[in-house]
Amino acid sequence: MIVVLTGAPGAGKGTQADLLVERQGYKKISTGDALRNQIKGGTELGKTASQFMEKGELVPDALLLDILKSELSAVAGHKVLLDGYPRNLDQAKTLEGLAAEWTVGKAIHLDVESKQLVERLSGRRTCLNCGATFHMTMNRPEKEGICDKCGSGLTQRPDDEVKKVQTRLTVYEKSTEPVLDFYRSKGVYVRVDGLGSTEDVYSRLLEAL
């Protein structure tokens, strides 16, 4: 059985997915990791995918699907958590038609209101030197603008500027809403409130599962 985990950028999806893997024995498949694995492994699929990525193009759906199938086969018999897929309605429908053992049993939407997401994302500051991340209100560095770990200056990733965050969220909602509707119609959709501490959200998530 597959559990699809969805959530906007900043909703805390990655953290929750990691906990499910650690504590519940899920195998996580994220399309981003899957792509990197195939490329690193020098597989045929990886080679084809990197040709698109080098040109700055999106990896076509059909190729992404082949990669996904290969990853799914590798974890046959396990509980699978799908992260970052399906991203649109076409992908959701394709996934549905794959095979009985890959049926989506639950589609969980980690829901955080967009005002909150904008605050979470736009407050992030990153250290270019060591990669540590801080937050202007939730996880302040000891000295304003300076990395606690290595003493380098902190910067805001261009992606995290308020305007760009808003655009990212709008794009995300537009493509995801039809996916959520699809899973609602299948009766497997569950909304989980993503506000609160990591552990609070995690226990809601467990209940939903």
69-87: burial string, b at 16+ Cβ within 10 Å, e else: eebbeeeeeebbbbbbbbb
Of 120, 124, 125, 204, which one is the catalytic site residue? 124
Smallest distance, Å, CB 160 to Zn ion?
Answer: 17
Given 15, 129, 133, 155, the residue binding Zn ion (CB under 5 A)? 129
Q: Is 87 a catalytic residue?
A: yes
Q: Which residues pair with 2 in a beta bridge?
A: 80, 104
Scanning 83-91, 141-149, 161-169, 184-192 for contacts with Zn ion by CB under 5 A, the matching segment is: 141-149
Q: Which residues pair with 108 in a beta bridge?
A: 5, 190
Smallest distance, Å, CB 119 to Zn ion?
Answer: 23
The nearer residue to Zn ion, 75 or 132, going by C-beta atoms, is 132
Is 157 a binder of Zn ion (CB under 5 A)?
Answer: no
Smallest distance, Å, CB 20 to Zn ion?
Answer: 29
Given 127, 179, 192, 205, the residue binding Zn ion (CB under 5 A)? 127
- Residue owning tokens 């992404």: 64
The nearer residue to Zn ion, 130 or 171, going by C-beta atoms, is 130
Query: Do 22 and 14 meet the contact criterion of CB atoms below 8 Å apart?
Result: no
Query: Do 63 and 48 meet the contact criterion of CB atoms below 8 Å apart?
Result: yes
Smallest distance, Å, CB 150 to Zn ion?
Answer: 3
The nearer residue to Zn ion, 93 or 149, going by C-beta atoms, is 149
Given 1, 74, 99, 130, the residue binding Zn ion (CB under 5 A)? 130
Q: How far apart are alpha carbons 86 and 104 in whole angstroms?
A: 11
Distinct helix (H) and strand (E) counts, the chain: 8, 8
Q: Is 13 a catalytic residue?
A: yes
* Nearest partner of 2 among 209, 184, 178, judged by Cα: 209
- Residue owning tokens 């994302």: 121
Is 150 a binder of Zn ion (CB under 5 A)?
Answer: yes
Q: Give the contacts of 167 (CB within 8 A, at least 6 positions apart).
A: none
Given 49, 147, 201, 205, the residue binding Zn ion (CB under 5 A)? 147
The nearer residue to Zn ion, 65 or 132, going by C-beta atoms, is 132
Q: Is 157 a catalytic residue?
A: yes
Q: How far apart are alpha carbons 14 and 18 in whole angstroms?
A: 6
Q: Which residues are catalytic?
A: 13, 87, 124, 157, 168
Provide the binding-site residues for Zn ion, judged by CB under 5 A: 127, 129-130, 132, 147, 149-150, 152
